[in-house]
Amino acid sequence: NAGVTQTPKFRVLKTGQSMTLLCAQDMNHEYMYWYRQDPGMGLRLIHYSVGEGTTAKGEVPDGYNVSRLKKQNFLLGLESAAPSQTSVYFCASSKNPDSNQPQHFGDGTRLSIL
């Protein structure tokens, strides 16, 4: 019963490096989300997708890009990492938001930018 799987779980980058965070879900959910979680703050939406081939900006999209080439996968890219992007990143998915369907979360990726 995998649910939402994120890779990697931990990563340390140097400023200016790039990387891609991977998210996969096996629940056939249409909607997928990328959040960041920082101490003392609520989860903040970076980007989201309402279906295969679609992406949209959330609250804090700057410095990130996403792609949803397949329904089950949602990728988050950092083109040129900055220390301000040090955070815990969560991927989530849901059937659709206009109902009582909750979002299901992956275990998170802990990313440190030096």
Partner 1 sequence: GQNIDQPTEMTATEGAIVQINCTYQTSGFNGLFWYQQHAGEAPTFLSYNVLDGLEEKGRFSSFLSRSKGYSYLLLKELQMKDSASYLCAVMDSNYQLIWGAGTKLIIKP
- CA–CA separation, 23 vs 101, rounded Å? 19
The yes or no reply on residue 74 touching partner 1 (CB under 8 A) is no
The yes or no reply on residue 107 touching partner 1 (CB under 8 A) is yes
Q: Judge contact between 4 and 103, C-beta under 8 A.
A: no
Query: Toward partner 1, which CB reaches closer, 17 or 44?
Result: 44
In the chain, the amino acid numbered 32 is M
The residue among 94, 89, 100 whose CA lies nearest residue 27 is 94
The yes or no reply on residue 48 touching partner 1 (CB under 8 A) is yes
Query: Toward partner 1, which CB reaches closer, 10 or 62?
Result: 10
Residue ranges binding partner 1 (CB under 8 A): 4, 40-45, 48, 58, 90, 97-98, 100, 102-108
